[in-house]
Amino acid sequence: MILFIDTHAELITVALKNNDDLFIKTQTSEYSHSIYTMPMIESLFKDNNLNVRDLKKIIVVNGPGSFTGIRIGLSIAKTMAYALNIDINTISSLTAYLVSDSKKEKRKAVIKDNKGYYISVFDENNENIVPEFYSEEDKYDYRVVEEKLNVDKIIKYCSNMESENPHHVKANYVKKIEVESW
């Protein structure tokens, strides 16, 4: 069984993939990710008569996105992976958007802030051809994918990834915080 956690934006998404079944919960939360995320996960297990001890893997979106939201999702995922001694994988929000898109063509995911753009470009085979980067301008003339997630596609995309050490899982922030730049 696989747990998916995404807290990078206002829409919190948690899901459980158990064999062929996919159970998803979403909740809009502008500033209350810490209030909703764990109860949503607990509810997924309880409502579907599943046991947390049957988890084999956690996939968590590590940003870019909401600074606090990312920290909450990563903290939950890392703690669960460590405590249950199970695999953990991260996926960036940009990659998650690109993988979720249904059209097979060159396309880009873009997260804009007031100073620039965080961009990634995929080809028609879901291969990353422009690694994620931050820029003051968007110079790639490809179709921009919607900021929508297809959890099933994301889980399939991550299925062959090598597991990460929970202690080494890090956030992918849009901006470097001042402390990091000293």
Average pLDDT value for residue range 147-151:
96
Residue spans of the domains in the chain: they are 2-181
Specify the pTM: 0.92
> pLDDT tens digit string along 62-79?
999 888 999 999 999 999
Sole residue written with tokens 């993939």: 17
Instruction: Read off φ and ψ for residue 112, nearest 5 degrees.
Output: -105, 140
Rg (CA), the chain: 16
Residue 49: predicted pLDDT: 97
> pLDDT tens digit string along 99-136?
999 998 999 999 988 788 899 999 998 899 988 888 88
CATH topology classification for 2-181: Nucleotidyltransferase; domain 5 (3.30.420)
